[in-house]
Amino acid sequence: MTTIATAKAHTNIALIKYWGKKVPALNIPTTSSLSMTLDKFYTTTSAEFSDEASDTLILNATNTDSTRVSKFLDSLRDYYGDFPKVRVRSENHVPTAAGLASSASSFSALTGAMFQLLELPKDEREMSRAARRGSGSASRSIFGNFALWNMGNDDKSSYAESFYDEDINLSMIVAEISSSQKKMSSTLGMQLAQTAPTYSAWVEKSAQQLEEMKQAIITHDIEKIGLIAQDNALGMHEQNRQCTQPFDYFTEQTRAVIDFTERCYRSGLLAFVTIDAGPNVKIITDKTTEKELLAKFRREFPEISFEVAHAGGGLKYV
Ligand code: ADP
Ligand code: DP6
């Protein structure tokens, strides 16, 4: 019998975003989404049965509120049968709750560890469904390179799968503007965004952009990928500003990095942005351009830390 199980999963950054739910309780989204898994940022999680009164979470060596983890474990109890309380130990090699997708890597790693601990068949589709119930974006982190999350309509039909399992020379320069925890979680942020009068138009456009994005990935067309991803992400953030309780993840520095990226593109370099639920910016470029672009950004923004990430692998057992 397995007594302790450990799994490692990488974060992923959506090129076509998930930003809204049809069924909030199950994280069934309003749009399908497509992401690239990153090599640089990941979570390692161990799970073991415990005789404590509740599930516990030790995150980065600190006892942490386990409400969300426990809710996820309860969903596994509902789906796969009851099991004892669990002690979860996790290390985030990514800032927590800063818009760098810690929930994606962490719920994917926890899913892997739990499937191993419970000795469930490691069917990737089923693991993706399970991870999705923990955090929608985690459904995609089961897979390496490019993953497509088919929105579906219900628990069975909503899962991610590998879309293109090759590195296409795409680079992401991550501008870590702030690593502090955001005030507005993704869960709440997207719920508010859905009240924007322009939201259904963004959803409709997203379906069309998804098809264009698939084509651009298959043909390794980084410029097209960047242009579509940028428009999709800026559109997502516009919903936050247009909704009934407007809010904005961007800071002055976010806007300055976006403007500078646009100037770089106009000067002939491949440079586009995508931004998640936080102030940090991911600059999309290719491996040939990344060094030159990185040097430019470091010169322009000496106070910001920049890291280059490439496509990474799927879930692994440690
Ligand atoms: P992010 O932008 O980092 O994905 P979210 O608000 O979507 O931020 O999710 C962050 C939340 O995910 C945290 O507040 C915590 O509840 C959960 N989380 C992050 N890392 C872990 C981890 N390693 N183990 C368990 N839960 C985690
Ligand atoms: C902006 O997956 O963190 O990163 O399902 O409520 O946990 P919950 O939300 P979460 O949202 C991610 C939103 C995003 C876009 C994306 O990753 O597709």
pLDDT at 179: 82
Res. 41: pLDDT tops 80: yes
pLDDT at 236: 98
- What does the block give as tokens for 194? 């859905």
**Strands 86-93 and 56-59, bridge-based pairing:** parallel
Dihedral pair phi/psi, residue 215, rounded to 5°: -60, -45
Q: CA–CA separation, 130 vs 115, rounded Å?
A: 9
What residue spans of 85-157 are helical by DSSP H?
Answer: 102-117, 124-134
pLDDT at 100: 75
Residue 92 Cβ inside 6 Å of ligand 1? The answer reads yes
pLDDT band at 183 (very low <50, low <70, confident <90, very high): confident
3-state helix, strand, coil in the chain (%, to 5): 40, 25, 35
State percent of the chain over pLDDT 90.
94
Average pLDDT over residues 114-140: 98
Residue 135 Cβ inside 6 Å of ligand 2? The answer reads yes
pLDDT at 195: 98
Residue to probe by mutation, ligand 1, list 19, 35, 72, 102, most atoms within 8 Å of CB: 102
Q: What spacing in Å lies between the alpha carbon of 226 and ligand 2's midpoint?
A: 20
Q: Whose CA is nearest to atom 6 of ligand 2?
A: 187
State whether the Cα torsion 161-166-167-170 is positive or negative.
negative
Res. 69: pLDDT tops 80: yes
- Cβ atoms of 33 and 93 within 8 Å: the answer is no
- What does the block give as tokens for 162? 């590998």
Q: How far apart are the first and last CA of the chain?
A: 17
Residue 44 Cβ inside 6 Å of ligand 1? The answer reads no
Res. 93: pLDDT tops 70: yes
Residue to probe by mutation, ligand 1, list 46, 88, 103, most atoms within 8 Å of CB: 103
Residue 137 Cβ inside 6 Å of ligand 2? The answer reads yes
Domains of the chain listed by start with CATH number: 4-167 (3.30.230.10), 170-309 (3.30.70.890)
Residue to probe by mutation, ligand 2, list 11, 16, 18, most atoms within 8 Å of CB: 18
pLDDT band at 232 (very low <50, low <70, confident <90, very high): very high
Average pLDDT over residues 124-142: 98
Q: CA–CA separation, 241 vs 255, rounded Å?
A: 14
Average pLDDT over residues 61-83: 96
Residue 277 Cβ inside 6 Å of ligand 2? The answer reads yes
pTM of the model: 0.96
Q: Whose CA is nearest to atom 12 of ligand 2?
A: 137
Instruction: Supply the mean pLDDT for the chain.
Output: 96
Residue 186 Cβ inside 6 Å of ligand 1? The answer reads yes
pLDDT at 98: 65
Res. 126: pLDDT tops 80: yes
Average pLDDT over residues 19-39: 97
SS3 category, 152:
coil
pLDDT at 1: 67
pLDDT at 317: 96
Residue of 315 and 99 predicted with greater confidence: 315
CA atoms within 13 A on the CB side of 143: 29
Res. 181: pLDDT tops 90: no
